Amino acid sequence: MRINTNVMAINAQRNLDITSVKMSKALEKLSSGLRINRSADDAAGLAISEKMRSLIRGLTQGARNGQDGISMIQTAEGALSEVHGLVQRMRELSVQAGNSTLSASDRTAIGEEMLTLRNEIDNIAARTKFNGLNLLTGSLSTALDATSQVKTGFQLTTTAVADVSSVDVSKLKSDPLAVTTYTLSKINATTLRITQGGNSTDAVNLDGTIGVDGSLTVSFNGVHTTTITIVGAAAKTVDDTFTDLNGKTIVTAIGNGSATYRVGAEASDTISVAFDDMRASAIGTVGNRIATLVVDNTNVSTVAKANILLASLDQAIQDVSTGRAKLGAAQNQIEAAVNSLGVVAENLSASESRIRDADIAKISSELVARQIMQQAGVSVLSQANSSSQSVLALLQNR
């Protein structure tokens, strides 16, 4: 019999410690509702469940993206419904103008209404926006060229111009144009002219000097200011910069009329939707667009003009109908994708729950067992601690 080392007490204490740790983990699982609270609980299960969580959250966000896309499409389609009504009214007036019983003043009155209706088509196209994005001007894009910046209007990016990275002329025109080419020409040491077709605007220098990798602030027609960024190892004078730009061309970096919706958890889970230009200059017979035929109140001054306009309006109705059909089909596609995402996210959530969530009934039973073992361990430890007192009986008998 030994006094200094109580092996029975040490053994009882070790088992009691193990029971206490297991009881602590059971309480942690019950309080958190999770079977895996740290990687030590189940390393492989944690890795699998985290990947599932990432996918579930991506699918959930993808579904929200799809809902935003549906709202965007509905905004455009609702506006096109009004455009349809306007074009139908214009066609009705064209049919009326084809009757020879009308006087010149009657035709002028019809022409005035025609002009008003045409202007309202353009107004609707300009007003129809979603989160600041124009939907019916053909300039919508959520994925501009990587070298461009999203700005009001459009940005012109230089091509093959030494030491000049970009020219932002977002204020050159108030209305975005289709992708086209502009020509730069140096007028003098302080003036650079930008020309497209018969239109031009002069950029006049407002800065005296340009530093290394600096910028040149210019004013277009003395109204709007913008910046030309200079890059390179050496500083550039204004005169040298305009000389570099002389004779060079720039192209617009505007939207392509399409929006891409990330309806899913991966980069490839996208749906592209085309938002066509529905202004009066883009609908109707090619070569005889509505904006070309209806420029003043003489647009139906003769039966011949009314007949030409009637044919163009028939095509305009078809153009608007086609645009609405595309949007409706895209909305149905996105709705189907959103519903599919909901099903996938639900099933993945169930799988993730089976891996990570705690079985409360099982853990509760385990906790009761640990509590009993802890009480038993404490009792055994108490007896082991008192077992050495039997040595006193040997000493007393002596």
Q: Are residues 317 and 338 in the same domain?
A: yes
268 lies in some domain: no
324 lies in some domain: yes
180 lies in some domain: yes
Q: Are residues 52 and 116 in the same domain?
A: yes
Residue tagged 């210019």 (tokens):
218
Q: Are residues 239 and 183 in the same domain?
A: yes
265 lies in some domain: no
Any idea what the CATH number is for the domain that residue 53 is in?
1.20.1330.10
29 lies in some domain: yes
Q: Are residues 173 and 244 in the same domain?
A: yes
- Three-state secondary structure call for residue 167: strand
Q: Are residues 162 and 109 in the same domain?
A: no
Give the integer Cα–Cα distance in Å for 213 and 228: 11
Is residue 387 very low, low, confident or very high in pLDDT (cuts 50, 70, 90)?
confident
Q: Which of 307, 191, 330, 328 is nearest to 260 (CA)?
A: 330
User: Which tens digits make up the pLDDT trace of 257-284?
Assistant: 678 899 998 988 999 898 888 999 889 9
Q: Are residues 298 and 323 in the same domain?
A: yes
User: Which tens digits make up the pLDDT trace of 275-328?
Assistant: 888 999 889 998 889 998 999 999 999 999 999 999 999 999 999 999 999 999
- The domain in which residue 337 lies consists of 47-138+275-350
Residue tagged 């099982």 (tokens):
362
Number of domains in the chain: 3
123 lies in some domain: yes
Q: Are residues 163 and 246 in the same domain?
A: yes
User: Which tens digits make up the pLDDT trace of 205-240?
Assistant: 655 555 555 555 555 444 445 555 555 445 667 777
Q: Which of 252, 284, 307 is the last residue of a domain?
A: 252
269 lies in some domain: no
3-state secondary structure 312-374: HHHHHHHHHHHHHHHHHHHHHHHHHHHHHHHHHHHHHHHHHHHHHECCHHHHHHHHHHHHHHH
As a whole number, mean pLDDT of residues 352-373 equals 89
